[in-house]
């Protein structure tokens, strides 16, 4: 497998990889759904082990000890090729991949459409829990080019070369659906609900040309730096992966996202 693996792979490609044992598949869905059925050989990681929540701020980066333990427990090593999926729209799986990239992990992909599309394609599933030994993956969350902090965003609000993509629902964006201390959106942000990035039937990302047209129509163009966020950088992690797959060179995810922006008192809000 090349060092720079594709951000997105389809079900047929993963099926071929499984046959060569050249991949570690990670299921980021629920424990119950994993126990019922999963892609053969897939290893389960609980989403809560790869994020840090300090209510009311959700979805912060974990510390190195927490992330190292989560990866080591399923025997992942720095040189492994990791393919992630989930059963709830690819947000959790994408968040794992974004976090791995921040940790400097190079070989990673998202299964387009997750297990939903896998099942639609009548691919094999299993309920057998694979056996593996614990590894000793020591992570270093210092590859911060893909991270936007609140202070960084504040410093870029007047920069026309930086665009903020808010993938929450229209209700959240407009301040009608209130999920934090304050409601509304970051000044100048563009709203594209993350559901619009996907085909509702297959849960796959839109075809690349269609997705690019949607983004560019809203000013999210490859010549700009794009900061993606939602409420906790869960939904927006999929937007991050989608943009990277399209070749956008400068993309940052905002851990904590709206839950942090709305909690702080020095952050401006529009509604």
Catalytic residues: 230
Residue 239 token pair: 């937007």
Do the beta carbons of residue 75 and residue 135 sit within 8 Å?
Answer: yes
CA end-to-end distance (rounded Å), the chain? 47
Do the beta carbons of residue 123 and residue 171 sit within 8 Å?
Answer: no
The half-sphere exposure of 242 on its side-chain side, counting CA atoms within 13 A, is: 32
φ and ψ at residue 16, rounded to 5 degrees: -65, -40
* 145 CB burial (10 A radius; 0-12, 13-18, 19+): exposed
Between strands 82-85 and 108-111, the pairing is: parallel
For residues 208 and 136, give the distance between their C-alpha atoms in angstroms, rounded to a whole number.
38
Q: Tell me which residue has tokens 């943009």.
A: 243
For residues 156 and 148, give the distance between their C-alpha atoms in angstroms, rounded to a whole number.
10
Do the beta carbons of residue 150 and residue 264 sit within 8 Å?
Answer: yes
Do the beta carbons of residue 52 and residue 139 sit within 8 Å?
Answer: no
């Amino acid at each position: 497998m090349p060092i720079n693996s594709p951000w997105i792979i389809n079900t047929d490609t993963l099926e071929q990889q499984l046959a060569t044992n050249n991949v570690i598949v990670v299921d980021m869905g629920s424990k119950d759904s994993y126990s019922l059925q999963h892609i053969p050989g897939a290893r389960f990681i609980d989403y809560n082990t790869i994020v840090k929540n300090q209510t009311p701020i959700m979805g912060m980066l974990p510390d190195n000890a927490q992330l190292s333990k989560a990866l080591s427990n399923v025997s992942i090593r720095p040189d492994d090729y990791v393919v992630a999926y989930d059963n709830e729209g690819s947000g959790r799986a994408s968040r794992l991949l974004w976090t791995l990239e921040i940790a400097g992990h190079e070989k990673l992909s998202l299964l387009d459409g997750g297990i939903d599309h896998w099942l639609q394609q009548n691919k094999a599933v299993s309920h057998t829990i694979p056996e593996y030994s614990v590894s000793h993956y020591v992570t270093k969350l210092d590859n911060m080019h893909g991270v936007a902090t609140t202070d960084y965003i504040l410093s870029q609000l007047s920069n026309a070369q930086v665009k903020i993509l808010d993938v929450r629902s229209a209700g959240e964006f407009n301040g009608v659906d209130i999920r934090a201390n304050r409601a509304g959106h970051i000044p100048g942000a563009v709203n594209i609900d993350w559901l619009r990035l996907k085909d509702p039937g297959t849960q796959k990302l839109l075809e690349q040309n269609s997705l690019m047209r949607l983004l560019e129509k809203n000013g999210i163009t490859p010549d700009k730096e794009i900061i993606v966020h939602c409420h906790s950088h869960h939904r927006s992690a999929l937007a991050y992966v989608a943009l990277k797959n399209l070749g956008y060179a400068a993309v940052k995810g905002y851990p904590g996202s709206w839950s942090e922006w709305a909690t702080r008192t020095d952050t401006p809000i529009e509604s």
